[in-house]
Every structure is written in C-alpha cells, then in structure tokens.
Amino acid sequence: MKLLRGLCLVCFCLIAQCLQAKTYMTKKEFLKEAFSPASMETIEKKTLWLNQDLQNDISIILDHPYPKLRLQYWQLDNQSVWFLDEIGKERPISFGISIKNNQISLIKVLAFRESRGDEIRMQAYTEQFNGVQLNKDDRLNQSIDGITGATMSVNAMKKISRLALKLARITTDERLP
C-alpha cells in the first residue's frame, strides 16, 4: 500500500510539473526590452474594446471565437505592445509582441505550457518575424519557416502575429500603402 501511495505521489508530481508553464519572460521585462529605458515613464496603458465586428475579425484570424471583451495594450507614438495568448496543441502560449510603424519589431514567448514545441521561443526562430507586416488581405507579407515537431506552436505564433498587427493598425488608425 505504501508503495502504491508513493507511486501515485510521484506520478502526481510529474503530471503537475508537466502542466506548469515554463515562464521565459515577464510582461514588465518585455516592456523594458520593447521600449527604450528613457521612455518607460511616458508609455500609455490603453484599452481596446472589442465590438462585434472586431470579434468577428479576430475569430477569422484565430479560427475560433475570442472570449475577451477588451484588450489592454501599451503605446508610445507609433509603437504598441500587446500581450496575447493562443492555444498551441492543447494549452495556451503567452506572447509579447511589439509593433512599430505597422511591422513587428519584437516577438517573444513569455510562457509556454505545452509538452513540446517550445523551440519557437528561440531567438534564431523569432528573428524571422522582425519587419513582417500585413498585406491588404490581412495575411503576413513574408513566409515564416516551420519547425519539425512544433507545427501547432508555429501556427499559434503566426496567428498571434497577424492579430497583433491587425490590432495595432486599428489602434493607430493607419492604413496600408
């Protein structure tokens, strides 16, 4: 009986460890990296209310309904920062995305909760998003390489990139050339 209890305890601990998020960066750390240190005092925290039309647009990008009624973002001049989550295979992945002049200037995985696919957090992978914009069809204007064994995580990151670019365009009210 003691052996069975011990095995159950070990199994429970292993399962709990697998379900925990791997946190790579906090929101505060991301904001410090995205904005210059001198501008940290002047960043505005804003709220975007998601009306039905915007909810529909978000659902099209993510391929599922979006459960939130509002999103908070940080803005300074022509730069905005968004903290967004998207499901990889089964669990949410937390992203920080900085958009400057309607293009991605920085994207990071803040927390990863899946059992595989966290290679998307590597700088060598995330750098290919730098400078990416939306075209007139709300698609990324550059192709993004995949990672074998991380297809769902890659797709989540591409969807979140599209969403952040769309939201930044709406909040800065800038149009594509």
Q: What is the pTM of this model?
A: 0.84
Q: Is the pLDDT of residue 131 over 90?
A: yes
Q: Find all residues with CB under 8 Å of 69, minimum gap 6, and list them.
A: 49, 50
The pLDDT tens digits for 27-75 are: 999 999 999 877 788 899 999 999 999 999 999 999 999 889 999 999 9
Please give the helix or strand (H or E) that residue 156 lies within, else none. Answer: helix 151-172
Burial bucket for residue 37 (CB in 10 Å: 0-12, 13-18, 19+): exposed
Closest CA to 164 of 100, 97, 109, 78: 97
pLDDT of residue 81: 97
Backbone angles phi, psi at 108, to 5 degrees: -140, 150
List, in sequence order, the alpha helices (H) in 91-150.
Answer: 123-126
